[in-house]
Amino acid sequence: MAIYNSDGKKLVHVEFDVIPQVGDVVDTMRVLSINKKDNGEYALFLLEPNTRVTCYIFEEIFIVGKESGFENLHDAINAWNNNEI
């Protein structure tokens, strides 16, 4: 398990090719799932302390989108797949 922090714009103190994995921690939230698209973007689905789900969208280590407060992982993944985030 690795622990990562962001400054709101990118992951800090990591190489450009680092992708957090399921079970890692990003900004104190555990990574539940990872989803990648063909254009190089990937989404991390994170468990918030209040049991809701947050989605961070990345290009390399840069955060290009963020949405929080999903009721469950299924809703968050559907929003990502439907380009609603």
Range of the domain at 20: 3-81
Report whether pLDDT(79) > 90: yes
Q: Would you state the pLDDT for residue 7?
A: 95
- Residues 23-43 as b/e (b if ≥16 CB within 10 A, e otherwise) read ebbbbebebbbeeeeeeeebb
**pLDDT tier for residue 83 given thresholds of 50, 70 and 90:** confident
Please count the structural domains in the chain: 1
Q: For the segment 13-71, what is each residue's pLDDT rounded down to a tens digit?
A: 998 888 999 999 999 999 999 999 888 899 999 999 999 999 999 999 999 999 999 99
Q: Would you state the pLDDT for residue 85?
A: 83
CB 9 within 8 A of CB 17: no
